[in-house]
Amino acid sequence: MSIKKTTISDVAEINPRLRKEAKPQPDKIISFVPMASVSELSMTIENPIDRPYHEVQKGFTAFQRGDILVAKITPCFENGKMAYANNLPHDLGFGSTEFHVLRPREKLFGKYLFHLLREPFVRQAGEIKMKGAAGQRRVPANFFADLKIPLPPLAEQKRIAGILDAADALRAKRREAISQLDALLQSTFLTLFGDPVSNPMGWEVKKSSDLFLVTPRIGTATPAKGKGYLVVRVGEIGQSKIAFERCGRVEISQEDFKKFQLQPGDIVIARAIGSKNQLGKASFFTGFHEEVVADSHVMRLRPDPTKCDSCWFYSLISSDRGKILLQKAGGATAVQFNINGKQASSLNIPLPPLELQHHFTTIFKSIEKQKAQQRAHLAELDTLFASLQSRAFKGEL
């Protein structure tokens, strides 16, 4: 079936201004949405903050319930950070200036546009159009304004969105199952070892430098350009398993490869990032079928297996309480939060007996096996969703 196509600017407003008559009273509560509140996994707004209008009326991007938010800055755009703002507690919202706002008009159903913008080809095309210096590249507003989209009748848009919503809900259930296993793992850790910040069990405290085989290493500053070694960036870490399918590639010398190479048992942490809550998010490297390195926003930690178990140390440092150790040690600049090698080596680590750490690792591996099964089911659902998505926008659904 042939579907009429039109540009987004014909059926939606791009970055609409807050109209004078729509401005609320200074003390009116609105929904504030920082970049960190938009989930890359679920593509939803999580934990919006109630703020009075007078605190956010300058220096932030205005939007309203029913708008679509799309991160415009690298690497958030490439990672698919966007949300359909249909679940705002308040009619009006403000958020990061790094959001583009798309507001559907009467001929365009918002959820239909949202699903369309999630198509991989949109991110690929947008990445080509990005402007700016390395690390600060952004997708311009006119990319979305000029982007041509299929526009079936409104009733058909709603039907398509409904099918995709149902498929997406199945994926959400799998993600929730994985999240519950993560919570079980953290609970088990706290039961066995206690809070790593307050150390209620009185374990001997060691400096983290005493537990590392080598000094913490910051990754390569060479930007990923599509060739060479697989490179892990902050967007690919934060879960126990690194998202290798999203990794870029970097061309570096053999000498640099040896400096930045990851080995099984290494832990990679976000060491420079725009959100304090995300500083120190970590993943555990168990190996991969090709060589892997880390980039400059990532730090590699390599525990000494004769002193501490890598799985245990990863679980400590990636736990909600363990991340506080990193965040307390780190610093901040005008644009980001960071931690350097010296700071990462000065952490006070409550160290339980190695035998107890190994016992926890047995539990860790069992739960990770269950998570792997859930991820496999999720991957099947992802494939189904992608197929439905592609067929829907070709008029084949």
* CATH (one of 3.80.30.20, 3.90.220.20, 3.40.50.1820, 3.40.50.10470) for 5-151: 3.90.220.20
**pTM strictly above 0.75:** no
Query: Per-residue pLDDT averaged across 186-197, rounded?
Result: 94
How far apart, in whole angstroms, are the C-alpha atoms of residue 150 and residue 7?
9
Tokens of 132: 């700016």
Strands 272-273 and 49-52: unpaired
Tokens of 279: 């500083």
CATH 3.90.220.20 segments of the chain: 5-151, 204-351
Cis peptide before 75 (omega within 30 of 0): yes
Res 42: pLDDT: 78
Res 345: pLDDT: 93
CATH number of 153-193+353-397: 1.10.287
- Within 13 Å of residue 12, how many CA atoms lie on the same side as its CB? 31
Q: Does the pLDDT value for residue 300 go beyond 90?
A: yes
* pLDDT per residue as tens digits for the range 47-74: 899 999 999 999 999 999 999 999 999 8
CATH 1.10.287 segments of the chain: 153-193+353-397
What is the band of 334 on the pLDDT scale with cuts at 50, 70, 90? Answer: low
Mean pLDDT of the chain: 91
32 SS3 class? strand
* Cα distance from N-terminal residue to C-terminal residue, the chain: 10
390 SS3 class? helix
CATH number of 204-351: 3.90.220.20
* Closest C-alpha to 165, from 121, 118, 218, 198: 118
How far apart, in whole angstroms, are the C-alpha atoms of residue 115 and residue 307?
49
